[in-house]
Amino acid sequence: MEGFRENYERFQALGASVLGMCVESDRAHTAFAAALDVQFPLVSDFNRQIVGQFGIDYTEDEPFGGWWGMSRRSVFVLGRDGIVRYAWITDDPLVAPDVEEAIKAVQAMR
């Protein structure tokens, strides 16, 4: 998330929006955003509607560290037209997304 925070202005200059998403509560997102000084939106999908549609939810057959009901770490970059320009999803929450790859994906869609 830090890489996207540090490059947020580059995404804006390209006419793109950055959106982070998780199944945690709004309160958890507010604390997370404040701790990392994140300026872009973090969406709480506490009811799990969005993660199901994007296919980033873990099922009971896929325990994440013994916790069911978590979502995969995900980052989505959208253009001003609302079209997803880049989607990054991982099963490993310790792996960070490649910010330069996301920027290149946005540039390629211009």
CATH number at residue 29: 3.40.30.10
Whether 12 maps to a domain, the answer reads yes
Report the DSSP beta bridge partners of residue 76: 19, 87
Q: Name the one residue in this structure whose structure tokens are 């989505």.
A: 76
Give the pLDDT confidence score for residue 69 in this predicted structure.
Answer: 66
- Amino acid present at 94: L
Give the pLDDT confidence score for residue 64 in this predicted structure.
Answer: 58
Give the pLDDT confidence score for residue 107 in this predicted structure.
Answer: 92
Whether 93 maps to a domain, the answer reads yes
Q: Are 17 and 78 in contact (CB under 8 A)?
A: yes
Whether 16 maps to a domain, the answer reads yes
Q: What CA–CA distance (Å, rounded) separates 34 from 13?
A: 23
Task: State which residues of the chain have pLDDT below 70.
Answer: 59-69
Q: Residue 83: give the domain boundaries.
A: 2-102
Whether 108 maps to a domain, the answer reads no
* Closest to 18 measured CA to CA, from 9, 29, 31, 27: 9
State how many domains the chain has.
Answer: 1
Whether 109 maps to a domain, the answer reads no
Whether 88 maps to a domain, the answer reads yes
Give the pLDDT confidence score for residue 9 in this predicted structure.
Answer: 94
Whether 62 maps to a domain, the answer reads yes
C-alpha Rg value of the chain to the nearest Å: 14
Give the pLDDT confidence score for residue 3 in this predicted structure.
Answer: 92
Whether 30 maps to a domain, the answer reads yes
Q: What CA–CA distance (Å, rounded) separates 46 from 29?
A: 11
Would the pTM count as exceeding 0.85?
no
